[in-house]
Structure 1
Amino acid sequence: MTALILSTQRIEPITELVVFGDSLSDTGTVFRATGGAYPPDPPYFQGRYSNGRVWVEYLAEQLGLAASQIRNFACGGATSGNYSNGGLVPGLVRQVNSFTQTHSQIQSSSLYVLWAGANDYLQGANDTTAPVKNVMNAIDSLSAAGAKRVLVANLPNLGQLPATRNNANSASLTALTQTHNQKLRQSLKVLSQQQPELEIAVLDANALYQSAITDPAKFAFTNVTSACMNGSGSCETPDQFLFWDGIHPTTAAHQILGKHAFAAIETHLSSNARR
């Protein structure tokens, strides 16, 4: 499998993924930090918050990148800001600042991936201003250090997760998600106008989750409302579930996210992009 080649001469092939975010993208940061204690394996898979590989790994595979060409700083429990969990977990801004401080000139051929904000709201934030600003500040820091291509994901409906859909906060989480995504879309549009040399692809995770919930059969899912894993163990058919636990998707869902992220890159990073 070859790397994604962008046919216009001004664009280099993607040679590396550099990933920042939370448990949706974490491939073992917390697992290594806790000496393999968390997330427990089994039932979780080798440090992922799922039953298999996560979306950035599927994306890398489609880009033709080896594991050695992924640098992943995403950390389970991370918020969009500096620190969460009493200062123990570096948030998105902290992850990016730590990276740029040790890489004053970063590779323009890399794709910088950012997905964060869910934990801000799940941990009680009720205003979208700071989380959106944090994401944009993280992008600004990468751009100032030399990044030319970024992939940003929006938030799925946080009020429709197995852990939240039946609780008192469901409606407010849905509203926060909608506002966050609207502000993020607007902020990215402004940034594109201000910095046309910075290429931005957006993974519309919200639309993808909503599509799966509305039409599960389209994705070969039979259950899109409850978690495969429960108190007595896990279900026998995890590939038919959207959710692995109360918050995180199954690896089958991650594979779909990776596929759509690749499509977003082809569409938005170059109108002439091809494999």
Structure 2
Amino acid sequence: MKTIRVLGLSLITAALLAACGGGDEPYEPGTTPTAGAPTTKGNFSAVVSFGDSLSDIGAYAPATSLSGDGQAPYFGGKFTTNGNGTAGTVWVENLAAKMGLLVTPGEVGFGAQSVKCPAAALNLGNTCTGYGQGGSRVTDPNGIGKSTGALTVPVSKQIENHLARFGSFKDTDLILVYIGSNDVFIQFGGFAAKAAQIQTAAATGQISQDEAQRQLFAAQTAAQNGMKQAATELAGYVRTQILAKGGKYVAVMTLSDTVDTPYGKSLPPSVQPVLTDLSRVFNLWLREGLSNQPVQIIDTFPILKDSYANPAKYGFVNNTVPACDGAKIQAITGGRVTDGSSLFCNGTAGVPFNGLRTGASVDSWAFADGVHPTTGGHRALSEAFHAQLKAFGWL
């Protein structure tokens, strides 16, 4: 069987840019910087976070109920190495704690049940401004895991929910937007399925190698166009639903390279560039959509690439093997969870629901599962983001 080569970012991006207009010196999207964001320290009273599983601070805790009825206590609930106290905190919580603030989930639930702002019933104040949910996408409500009970409220709706509660954003809000990874997974999954069909058709003589290359190019272009659309939509929400509704201190994160994860490294080398390029295309059009806007962009692509290339610099001794043991999690959940998701991984020593791999550490191993950070991984991420916010002059 002949191998169909994948096409690099430069070739497909050229095709995408051609659609923007010609000329001897075509405009290059994503090169105009943001402008006008605050440069002074903020008097912050709330951390408002929009995103997906990386920013999820416990939206799906009921799925990990020890009693199995959705009620507390829970043995998991976040996409990391869960535990007691500061164990199992994600970057949003860490960052808020550094600022002396409390942030709690805007909505908690699973399946047909959900509760908006559960912290209100606990007299924790109006702190329910952590809207990130595992599986969520930029606009499409049918995120990853939706069919099996995940809420996957998209960021467009997350922002809408915040505005419905508060009416607008405040000068004292630190607003963090980190979304797009699930759009990458959806687009990559579609490409991979199409590529497999093309590979089979070429191998069985149904199409020529030239036709296979043409179809593969079309499949890659379609996936990248999907990422361009998601990025363009996200930039639009930032402009019209955050900045236009009072947002002042607004930081938007680019996507990192998913290849720099255990999942990414498990893929055949021939398709890893496709995965990388989906994030790059998203980042390019996100920057384009935020050109001259009063926001700050935190570029996670080089931050996480450096942490993967130089793990010891960040205190990691292992960044290739997930700390959570898929077989243990399957046993703990009675066979309900077979993918080793860190949502169901608890790192507390000595408890029967501990899902860590033998010898693993929640602090010095970087990844909890194939794509999500451990407690230590989130700590490193929050420190990097904190440094960026200080560099902006906001902290």
TM superposition score normalised by structure 2: 0.58
Runs (5+) with no aligned partner, structure 2: 1-37, 82-87, 104-123, 189-222, 329-355
Say which of 31, 51, 55 aligns to 1:25: 55
Judge which range, 230-239 or 17-26, deviates more. Answer: 230-239
1:75 maps to 133
1:58 maps to 94
1:165 maps to 265
Change (3 A) 1:35 1:264: same
Q: How does 1:1-275 map to 2 (within 5 A)?
A: 8=40, 12-32=42-62, 34=63, 36=65, 46-51=76-81, 52-67=88-103, 69=127, 71-85=129-143, 88-124=151-187, 126-127=223-224, 128-140=227-239, 141-168=241-268, 169-188=271-290, 190-192=291-293, 198=294, 200-233=295-328, 234-235=356-357, 236-268=360-392, 270=393, 273-274=394-395
Q: Output one character per residue of 1:50-107: Cα deviation in whole Å (capped at 9) or x when no partner.
A: 0111001111111121345461111110011141245852111121122223432331
Contact 1:205 1:257 in 2 (8 A): no
Counterpart-to-counterpart distance in 1, 2:284 and 2:366: 24
Q: Output one character per residue of 1:84-137: Cα deviation in whole Å (capped at 9) or x when no partner.
A: 245852111121122223432331210111111000111226122112112212
Counterpart-to-counterpart distance in 2, 1:158 and 1:114: 18
2:205 maps to none
Q: CA deviation at 1:45?
A: 6.2
Q: Output one character per residue of 1:1-23: Cα deviation in whole Å (capped at 9) or x when no partner.
A: xxxxx995xx6411100111100
Change (3 A) 1:45 1:58: farther
| Identical pairs, percent | 25
Secondary structure of 1:84 counterpart: coil
Moved >6 Å (runs of 4+): none
Contact 1:28 1:48 in 2 (8 A): yes
Q: CA deviation at 1:243?
A: 0.8
Secondary structure of 1:202 counterpart: strand
Secondary structure of 2:55 counterpart: coil
Secondary structure of 2:129 counterpart: strand
Contact 1:160 1:174 in 2 (8 A): no
TM superposition score normalised by structure 1: 0.82
Counterpart-to-counterpart distance in 1, 2:235 and 2:44: 22
Change (3 A) 1:45 1:149: farther
> Whose strand proportion is higher, 1 or 2?
1
